[in-house]
Structure 1
Amino acid sequence: MRHLSLPPHPARPARGEPGPDASPPVLLVVAHGSRDPRHAATVHALVRRVRSLRPGLRVETGFLDFNAPSVTGVLEGLAADGVRDVVALPLLLTRAFHAKADIPAVLHEATSRLPQLRIRQADVLGPSPLLLDALEQRLYEAGLGPGDKSSTGVVLASAGSSDPEAIAVIAEIAREWRRTGWCAVRPAFASASLPRTEDAVRELRAEGVRRVAVAPYVIAPGFLPDRIVRGAREAGADVLADVLGPAPELARLLLTRYDTAASAAAVTVAMSA
């Protein structure tokens, strides 16, 4: 009797894992939220830009506080739609309390109630060369040009944090940005840490820097970004850039973080098949 040689069965994904033809994970952008309506409007504008860059990807937005829809509400809706795989991406520039505690707690609670959902938390956005590109573009939009770098000192003004890791990251970003040709780059903080924006501007003036610019290292307007603006104006900064907002560089960075998380999941599927 002749034995037929049958092709091997295709590898099956582990239970609960998506198959090779499954839809890509949904991208859930997790924003902090604010009572200031400009915050949510800016977040939604950024998410629209992300969707325009990746039309086939489902992108949702959830807020931790103040705004709707909530992260939990979005996840419940996704589960009801039959979605099984979600990448939750913190709309944060540093890995501080919200990324380490708030967001993991919300996602863990949702996973326990919605076991059909596989939820993974992507990395925060910073640091990244794309963020430096976005910061420089905002400064150029405010009136500077590449030829002004050697005569301009920049205050890198962030919201601030009590987390030493986050503060160290901001300081390192300032050092890295200085190496691209700016006369000086100094970190400043709107809360929790020192120096304040106005103090950093005055320090640069005292050191003889001819032109001082303030670059807010924040994504959307709100209470702390407004404090940065007031400090810059109070100290007489020559140039004040806008927040990062829906910058194209920021939209590309969101997709980079998403792709990294989604690819890591794909490797896990292949190994467990």
Structure 2
Amino acid sequence: MRPLLLLAHGSRDPRHAATVEALADAIRELRPELPVTTAYLDHCAPRIAQVAPRLTDAIAVPLLLNRAFHAKHDIPAALRAAGSTIPVADVLGPSPLLLDALDRRLAETGLDVTDPAVRARTGIVLAAAGSSDPAANATTRAMAATWQRTRGWAAVTTAYASATTPTVTDALTTLRHAPTVHTTAVAPYLLAPGLLPDRIATAAATADHLAPTLGAAPELARLVLTRHTEAASATAPNARTA
């Protein structure tokens, strides 16, 4: 069994690391026999350079929702600098499990996500960090479209806390002009609290519902294990020689 190395971005906000460690604990509860270690790109300890060299048989799973700059450049560069050649699993998104986690967080606000009639009159802003990578933003928009189509929401639109537009404020204004929308909700498409989630929360003050970040949702724990299993299968000796 190949150990799991969770790779998080890191933040000066202590809530970030606390959330990552809570997710690690949730994974350990699901798979007690699986060694789970966390490491961070920046701000938090331990850093990737401190951990990766001693986990030579591990599989790294990045706690990232899209394949943007951190996934394409920062994490590979940090592992190379650490002299590590361990395989890196795919990022978490897109996945139906993320939609389940978003539903869970909205339900925690008091929104009855199980009622089709409620869904049919609720418009949601899927609020992401935002990226300078157009492909990453397109992936977020695709997630929003899938969430609306498969779950029956009146509307799901995207907004961003940085790097691109529209803002959460602008997206909420657009939703309020949609004839089918009677209730508005903002769902942060972010893993842990911090500067950008706080910015989203401030902009969402006029929404009827504001969900918390995805955090250590059980769906996220299962998704991390899925990415770990996929990468382990892809790098198994039989897979490499097939």
Query: What interval of TM-score do these two structures reach, taking the shorter chain for normalisation?
Result: over 0.9
| Match of residue 34 from structure 2 | 57
Distance 1:212 1:176 in 2: 18
Let me know the Cα RMSD of the aligned residues.
1.3
1:170 aligns with 2:140: yes
Matched residue type, 1:250 = L
| Match of residue 204 from structure 1 | 175
- Specify every segment of 5 or more residues in structure 1 that has no aligned partner in the other structure, as ranges: 1-23
Distance 2:61 2:3 in 1: 10
TM-score of the pair, normalised by structure 1:
0.84
1:185 aligns with 2:152: no
Distance 1:216 1:269 in 2: 37
1:232 aligns with 2:204: yes
| Match of residue 166 from structure 2 | 195
Cα offsets for 1:131-182 (capped at 9, x unmatched):
0000001101111112210110000000111101100001111111111200
Any idea what SS the aligned residue of 2:86 has?
strand
Matched residue type, 1:103 = I
Matched residue type, 1:191 = S
Cα offsets for 1:81-126 (capped at 9, x unmatched):
xx53111111000000000000001112223xx6xxx500110000
Decide whether the 8 Å contact of 2:234 with 2:240 is kept in 1: no
Shift of 1:198: 1.2
TM-score of the pair, normalised by structure 2:
0.95
**Equivalence map 1:1-273=2 (5 Å):** 24-76=1-53, 79=54, 83-111=55-83, 118-145=85-112, 146-147=114-115, 148-179=118-149, 180-208=151-179, 209-233=181-205, 236-268=206-238, 271=241
Choose 1 or 2 for highest CA Rg: 1
Distance 1:203 1:269 in 2: 48
Any idea what SS the aligned residue of 1:121 has?
coil
Shift of 1:241: 0.5
Distance 1:268 1:188 in 2: 43
- Specify every segment of 5 or more residues in structure 2 that has no aligned partner in the other structure, as ranges: none
